[in-house]
Structure 1
């Protein structure tokens, strides 16, 4: 059975497999910490299983002090010129502990990415932080380092993406219709105009901030802003394809804040033949102005899915079971999409969201349209404006934040500042499925792969194995803020001749590493073995 035929066979049966295997089809929630001291406005998973979290520095005092009596002095701060509290923390998943960190300039509504060397490079922000580049190294005692003039242009509400060569491209931001790169290759490097951001800009509402950006396997960038999208060759500063407007023409980017993902990329014989983008939720035209005047429009309940690899791509619309604005979309290790957080009316912005959507929804891309969506059990904590969510190595999703008003305010507001951190466990983590869950025993964590390397993955399954329902996936750790996960991508590796038994309850697959940096930019990934839609714990690997 060839890899392509096997894919269609797996797709045909996987929609019913989990339904018969799953005991708790709604997932479960657990409160990890009632407070982390700050509100989780931005999150990035690190390859040491810690999570970098930060909010903004001009809130006033947070609920966690800086270590060793340190204080931040900022003459540009409108609230406190001297602040001895932290506005960034490092969360250790294994120990459920936090470590306060110091940022010197305002990181509010910034962007960033995990670089190939495991450093986080974060760019821009507000006020004195809008031209700053900050670097965080993954180590036990590391703290933020700041490069005050690292950016050419002011970046606030911009989007970053790691490129095949290892640099970041930084696109847009408020009143910035251009892009630039970091690190710079010379002192004379400039920012480059991107007229598409002018064309999609509403002077009153904007609606094209935090554009959805994905690296296409041909090395070009898919950029979605407001209600339109292009395929962009950044190396030539040229739009090579213009896609149709999403049907209905409703805006999907901040402040009408929907979300988007690049659906899983299946590698077959060194190529990816099908590339699809999914964009869901948001707020209708005029919702931001209406919210300012006390009218809160219903959120959008539609998703648009487009196969950008087709010669003549067209949007196909689908209806979500729950309307949602400010929702996050995360790729789970088995290829499902989790839609989580947000509200059912209003828009992004201070006090402009209403009616929290407490139930996550799973979207199963390979199922038939009428059975793709599955409502999950609810949280008890509203996650509105400035909430975040990220996938971690054990398959859970960390959820934090929600701060739909200015400053740390816990009383006399509709949705108080939320300092808690909780975890959502998708249905595949049900304990009664443990005999179907793979455990990876080889390779060792932190193994480095070269492009196109043949790699043996050895794993155990204590129950009955269904070899035709096993896949190996790689997930890039994303930078999450404002309902969008930058650099998020999931690769389904080519497993060649399938799975073979090598001992008692032990099996192995020989997979081919991704063929190039266009498909898998160099860096760290989480590798999972998935059996009957149930993923193993991931292991960190490096590619490139």
Structure 2
């Protein structure tokens, strides 16, 4: 070794300091560690270089230092950083195998207390640890007890941090432990008990394993099953009458007419005067192009006679689509987005309009993010744009050209993994937070759950954003547990029930484990980071292909689960979740509504026929179709209401962007206790969908015009008609 050979080696490696010791040792770095100071005399470096006896290369415990720095960077011996913002150092603790805190990040060059703790803080973790210098862990207090971690001598945490050499970042199997003690906690979870925690109840065993559940304007629920899941002689299509309860032989009506496989299709409720349901896409061959329709008839307690209608030879999509999303646009037509060309096939990175209007529109961003963007989330924004969220990206589209208007910030995922996602297969769930009269606050989207890529943990957070504001950004809120394949049901009081899914894995057959049996109530009326309550548990695993929708009586119908994992069953049982408002002991209010075909911003009278007291409010909930965590069409608004005694008036919301046209359920609330719903149509049928598609298989058509008489009562008023289904 020579001075030249050592300095060259260090410079070539990108270092600014070269040091020689014991004649043959060469050290490189960008700073002097451990408070290194000049020796008292140059003569203490008296060892000749092994490769050149005319040069000196340090000495015993002495270094000859060469540097391009001026002045030389010298760092003192590392010690614990006692305070970082609202974080306080708790001491050195044991950690065997990285088991104390679950979320691990590695930063080989920049790890420091500031870097690590800021990450944990951003994602809502109030405990953190640093280990092996470069490792950062985020978690919760209970992780210390579960792992059996104990205090360790401070001398055992002695490794400096690569991003802050004067700070200590643990040591092997030792954590430098920090706790958030700021003025405001990073999260507050509520722990209601008894009736305040809600309750799961078994409703009825079903004839199929639903893949899609969709409330209908007749007060019933459409349930659809993919081919090959249920019994060989089943049509895969049933209608549930929730007013009948647990009588399996009378609660279901079997429907015919579906000719192709609805496996991973999309669903919407049309704005025509019949409130027809449409189902779009499917699994393979003709199913991919499927356009299927059902006109709900009958009423609660009374059988209907209509069936599904389909003819792929006369009405079909332009592109075959497996895992697409549908959106009812502000002009009354439908936007169909994305998917794959058959089972695990190539992407379909484009969009089309139904009824057909021009060619498909290519979307390069869907091509670039395949296969992590299936069932993208779509929203009509108050600004007139269309919000789309797919994988870990989001943007706003022009509603006419479908070109990108705004690229929004990347969607956060896990504290350890920015490459995690929110749409299938890293399946989370999205809703819109309530809009309140006069609708001056920006609309916010809320997405809960999803999955990281590595490791494949479910995400333990929700993210929200107001896309229409000038500089939108995502807010991260901790959830009490991890959840992938999550579902979220909007409730008529403005809260949201998060349920179903698993803690580990991703969506798909046999790809997830550890069912999440707990329900969470999210209340957007509370301050952010304080909105989640840990509710009741179920005993039924709801994994892949599970759903949740609110019924007209305010209960949440929980259905499905088709994991095919040889661990959890394929689930025929239907449950209901009773939110606290149904367990309060206060009777639900009742009301009469003379008109159910509304124009935007018009006033409509209704009469409260019974109420136990409390201020009268109205919520309007958009018709939804639930599958794979996507609640297509879901939206909730609280319009202006005035009352004089029991005579009340509600002002229809603004349209077509605040409240897009379509069918809504009107709930009257006395305080926070909702009535049974009545269905109203808002904004008419400007696209004339009531006259489409005019082919024999889809006739008779409902036509275009007013809805007619108000909805039938939501309680059973006629004798039950016997039903039967094939077992």
Band of TM-score, shorter chain: 0.7 to 0.9
Look up the SS of the partner of 1:40 in the other structure: coil
> Residues 345, 267 of structure 1: CA spacing in aligned structure 2 closer, same or farther, 3 A cutoff?
same
Choose from 612, 626, 641 the match for 1:480: 626
**Alpha-carbon deviation of 1:225?**
0.5
**Structure 1 partner of 2:176:** none
Alignment of 1:62-73 (within 5 A): 62-63=230-231
Contact 2:489–2:549, Cα closer than 8 Å, also in 1: yes
1:214 aligns with 2:379: yes
Q: 1: distance between equivalents of 2:583 and 2:228?
A: 41
**Structure 2 partner of 1:43:** 213
Choose from 567, 590, 599 the match for 1:439: 590
1:141 aligns with 2:312: no
Choose from 240, 255, 271 the match for 1:101: 255
**Structure 2 partner of 1:333:** 492
Q: Deviations over 1:326-383 (max 9, x none)?
A: 1101211111111011111111111111111111100011202343101111111110
Segments of 4+ moved more than 3 angstroms = 460-464
**Structure 2 partner of 1:177:** 349
**Alpha-carbon deviation of 1:464?**
4.1
- Looking at both structures, which has the greater relative contact order when contacts are Cα pairs under 8 Å and sequence separation is at least 6? 1
**Alpha-carbon deviation of 1:463?**
3.7
Contact 1:404–1:417, Cα closer than 8 Å, also in 2: yes
- Normalised to the residue count of structure 1, the TM-score between the two structures is 0.82
Q: 2: distance between equivalents of 1:309 and 1:508?
A: 37
Q: 1: distance between equivalents of 2:255 and 2:612?
A: 45
**Alpha-carbon deviation of 1:147?**
2.9
Q: 1: distance between equivalents of 2:543 and 2:506?
A: 10
Alignment of 1:339-350 (within 5 A): 339-350=498-509
Look up the SS of the partner of 1:323 in the other structure: strand
Largest Rg, 1 or 2: 2
- Normalised to the residue count of structure 2, the TM-score between the two structures is 0.62
Q: 2: distance between equivalents of 1:30 and 1:363?
A: 20
1:540 aligns with 2:684: no
> Residues 220, 399 of structure 1: CA spacing in aligned structure 2 closer, same or farther, 3 A cutoff?
same
**Alpha-carbon deviation of 1:23?**
6.5
1:130 aligns with 2:288: yes
Look up the SS of the partner of 2:508 in the other structure: coil
**Structure 1 partner of 2:143:** none
- More off after superposition, 190-199 vs 323-332: 190-199
Contact 2:463–2:477, Cα closer than 8 Å, also in 1: yes
Q: Deviations over 1:148-173 (max 9, x none)?
A: 15100011101001112222110101
Q: 2: distance between equivalents of 1:283 and 1:33?
A: 32
Choose from 396, 402, 409 the match for 1:237: 402
1:276 aligns with 2:444: yes
1:25 aligns with 2:174: no
Runs of 5+ consecutive residues of structure 1 not aligned to the other structure: 1-17, 64-82, 288-296, 407-412
> Residues 138, 358 of structure 1: CA spacing in aligned structure 2 closer, same or farther, 3 A cutoff?
same
**Alpha-carbon deviation of 1:99?**
1.4
Look up the SS of the partner of 2:320 in the other structure: coil
**Structure 2 partner of 1:257:** 427
**Alpha-carbon deviation of 1:461?**
5.5
Q: 2: distance between equivalents of 1:272 and 1:45?
A: 30
Contact 1:19–1:25, Cα closer than 8 Å, also in 2: no
Q: Report the RMSD for the aligned CA atoms in angstroms.
A: 2.0
1:198 aligns with 2:370: no
**Alpha-carbon deviation of 1:462?**
4.3
Q: 1: distance between equivalents of 2:424 and 2:240?
A: 27
Alignment of 1:487-526 (within 5 A): 487-495=633-641, 498-500=642-644, 502=645, 507-526=646-665
